[in-house]
Amino acid sequence: MKPRTLLILLVLVAGLGAFIWFYERELPGSEQRAEQAKRLFRGLEADEVAALVVESGGKRVRLERVVEAAGEDAGEADAETADAGEDTPEPLPLPEPEPEWRIAEPAALAGARADRFAVERLLDSLTALDKSRTLEDADRAETGLEEPRARVTVVDEEGGETTLEIGAEVPASTSTLAAIAGAPEVYVVGGAIVHDLDREPGDWRDRDVLAVRRDAVERLTFDPAEGERIVLARRGEEYWLDEPLVDRADAAAVDQLVADLTALRAREFVDAPGEGLAEYGLETPRGTIEIAGDGEPLRLEIGGEAEGEAWYGRAGGQLFAADGQLPEALAREPADWQSRSLSARRLYQIDRVTVEQAGAEPLVLEREGPDWRRGGDAIPYTPVSDFLFAVTDARAERLARRDAARAAGHLGAPAITITLAAAEDAEGAASAAGDSETIAVYPPASSGEVPATVTGRDYALYLAPATAETLRDSLERLRDAEPLPPDEPADGEAGEVDDIEVEVEEGD
């Protein structure tokens, strides 16, 4: 054989081997092939399903997947930045958006959000549906498939449809008979699929009443039928009262409120209110809560009481019954939303502390990694932590406007002034915790209460005597804390060097 012919054959063999290797490595093994052969919907991928049509009990529901375009706003912003000639880093890839399912039929529910978990459970059941036996040329009347008790049609992204028909139960088993519409074969499959299909149309609805994320809530407006309008608005990482008074809001109370709103689920829907809204307390609601965030504001109406300590509400035109404490939140007075915390800081947000006290030297504390320094000396962490905890954990017994407290003679010269600050970056800008916070603690009033004021708040906070005493005691221990001994230099490190005599011989 000529060398040239041999070389050509070797190239062809190598190419064929490479093709076989690259092709067959993607093919499933024998066990996988056997597993796939049992699947009724071979090759069905949940993310390729565009719609589902469920027919059960004489009722029909069509569910359609809606995928919002990702990154449109970000793309527009990048284009504007590029037009402005700004140098920007390469944008990070955006995560794939979660598919949202909507009800398209029946008309009474058209446009309503579908319960994503119920839809995904049905898709999982379909993709994993195994045929344990195949009955050839089975009589459709005898198998209950001439008039199936349920159907589910899978619509792919190209509009192709495949319908699964559910027939009679298999006696003395948990299985049922099923077939693909238009095909002669009848299969024995698990009966769990029936439970995923046997739902009333309304049961496919998403029971989450308000489609809003906790971090997207920017403003909350309460309009009770009896009482004052209350507005809570986010300022950075905090919520503040904007109406009918201006003050820092109670962080724990607002966090609980936002959690209740974003987790609100309908216990049941009321699709036919009957003679009107009066019997549900919604003709004249107890009040409304408006949630403003990313998109259009959401409006929640709170009505009368329902059975089982529930209450009626309405959102987006849908009437429902729900559990929870939102009616109680609506009834709270403005003062109930005010923060009674002496400080808005958390321990990890504090990197520098300055204390000025009548009759004592100013005290300056600075965080240095995990340690603290008082002046230039390192001191134990415990007394610093105890003092900062006493400050950030202190809560007032009551509040009063500053002008009223001043008129009562309670805000003279401060006994203690505490300034809390976050670390600054390399350019001297404050960190995410914001500007510094100054707390002034005054001598006790005649009642024994200890008034205090905080920067940014137009209110005096009256501390209980025990709270003020805890603060003063922790400050005293902080002043008396002994500095830590300096670290001993490790072997080989620079330190004190003993005098060493060196004898040098003079040369000739």
User: Which of 94-108, 242-256, 404-418 comes out lowest in average pLDDT?
Assistant: 94-108
pLDDT at residue 265 is higher than 50: yes
pLDDT at residue 252 is higher than 90: yes
pTM of the model: 0.72
d(CA 379, CA 386): 13
- Taken in order of first residue, the domains within the chain and their CATH numbers are 37-67+98-204 (no CATH), 214-337 (no CATH), 347-480 (2.60.40)
Q: Calculate the dihedral angle through the C-alpha atoms of 156, 197, 189, 124, rounding to the nearest 10 degrees.
A: 50
Q: What is the amino acid identity at position 10?
A: L
Average confidence (pLDDT) over 394-411: 96
Phi then psi for residue 507, to 5 deg, are -75, 175
Q: Where are the alpha helices (DSSP H) in 169-237?
A: 192-197
Computed on alpha carbons and rounded to an integer, the radius of gyration of the chain in Å comes to 36
What is the length of the chain? 508
d(CA 44, CA 157): 12
Q: Do residues 62 and 53 touch, judged by C-beta distance below 8 A?
A: yes
Average confidence (pLDDT) over 380-396: 95
Q: What is the pLDDT of residues 430-447, one digit of tens each?
A: 444 457 999 999 999 999
d(CA 219, CA 101): 28
Nearest to 187 by CA among 140, 230, 240, 231: 140
Beta strands in 247-383 (DSSP E): 247-248, 266-270, 287-292, 298-306, 310-315, 318-322, 352-357, 363-368, 371-374, 377-379
Nearest to 441 by CA among 421, 470, 461: 461
Note the pLDDT of residue 303: 95
H/E run at residue 328:
helix 326-330
Note the pLDDT of residue 71: 46
CB neighbourhood size of 67 (10 A): 12
Mean pLDDT score across all residues of the chain: 84
pLDDT at residue 488 is higher than 80: no
User: Which of 1-10, 272-281, 286-295 comes out lowest in average pLDDT?
Assistant: 1-10
pLDDT at residue 491 is higher than 80: no
Two tokens at 422? Answer: 């976050």
d(CA 508, CA 506): 7
| Residue with more model confidence, 171 or 69 | 171
Note the pLDDT of residue 492: 53
H/E run at residue 156:
strand 150-156
What one-character DSSP code corresponds to residue 340?
-
Note the pLDDT of residue 74: 45
DSSP class per residue in 11-38: HHHHHHHHHHHHHHTTS--HHHHHHHHT
User: Which of 144-148, 189-193, 217-221, 497-501 comes out lowest in average pLDDT?
Assistant: 497-501
Phi then psi for residue 256, to 5 deg, are -65, -40
d(CA 123, CA 120): 5
Average confidence (pLDDT) over 274-300: 90
Q: What is the pLDDT of residues 323-377, one digit of tens each?
A: 999 999 999 999 999 999 999 998 888 999 999 998 899 999 999 888 899 988 9
pLDDT at residue 95 is higher than 70: no
d(CA 283, CA 387): 54
CB neighbourhood size of 245 (10 A): 15
**Banded pLDDT at 93 (limits 50, 70, 90):** low
Note the pLDDT of residue 135: 87
pLDDT at residue 88 is higher than 60: no
Note the pLDDT of residue 370: 85
Nearest to 99 by CA among 82, 116, 87: 116
Cα(first)–Cα(last) distance of the chain, in Å? 89
